[in-house]
Amino acid sequence: MDTCCAPCALPALRLFAPPEFEAHYLFYNPNVHPFREYRRRLESFETLMGEEGLAYTVVPYEPEEWIRAVAFREESRCELCYRLRLRKAADIALDEGYEAVTTTLFASPYQDHELINLIGRSVCRSRGLEFVAWDGRDGYYETIAAARAKGMYTQPYCGCLLSERERYDRGRRAADRGE
Ligand code: SF4
């Protein structure tokens, strides 16, 4: 389970629960900037994994991997970002003997589900793995409310520096809309 953050993992915990599934959660998020934001999301993820007694892996933080993946192609950054993370999840799933890969990105209405599905199927097919799509968008606001009720950190932007600017630079957003 490629895991973007603890709140988006909440619906996945229910959907991919034993005995039907033996899920392993992967925290590989070189797309999250700056470092203190990354650390906050990681702490929240590790707290949830501990509370739920779930198996998980954290890949050491190397934001250079995301920077190299998107440099000079910033307009396509989300596609490249999804590919980077799903490739890592598929490589680890293959090494560890898992049959399928999915992602908590499917919990969010702010992510491009169709693109994630295309990329996920492509990286999994080439490794002989199944890619599992699901859709948590309808329950997203309940998910966020549940996360807040648990005292979980809920981040205000997707992850990268560019998404942080989009979130907070109102002047730029207005200019992009031609206002
Ligand atoms: S906006 Fe989100 S999905 Fe897109 S590149 Fe930034 S962190 Fe990745």
List, for residues 41-82, the tens digit of each pLDDT value: 999 999 999 999 999 999 999 999 999 999 999 999 999 999
Q: Is residue 178 pLDDT above 90, yes or no?
A: no
Is the Cβ atom of 160 under 6 angstroms away from ligand 1? yes
Is the Cβ atom of 158 under 6 angstroms away from ligand 1? yes
Q: Is residue 174 pLDDT above 90, yes or no?
A: no
pLDDT tier at 179, thresholds 50, 70, 90: low
For the stretch 1-52, pLDDT in tens is 999 999 999 999 999 999 999 999 999 999 999 999 999 999 999 999 999 9
pLDDT tier at 170, thresholds 50, 70, 90: confident
Dihedral sign from CA coordinates of 154, 160, 163, 168: positive
Per DSSP, the three-state class of 47 is helix
Is the Cβ atom of 31 under 6 angstroms away from ligand 1? yes
Task: Name the CATH code of domain 6-176 (choices 3.30.420, 2.60.120, 3.40.1000, 3.40.50).
Answer: 3.40.50
Determine which residue's CA is closest to atom 5 belonging to ligand 1: 78
Please identify, by atom number, the ligand 1 atom nearest to the C-alpha of residue 105.
3
- Contacts with 136 (C-beta within 8 Å, 6 or more apart), sequence order: 8, 11, 12, 15, 106, 107, 108, 143
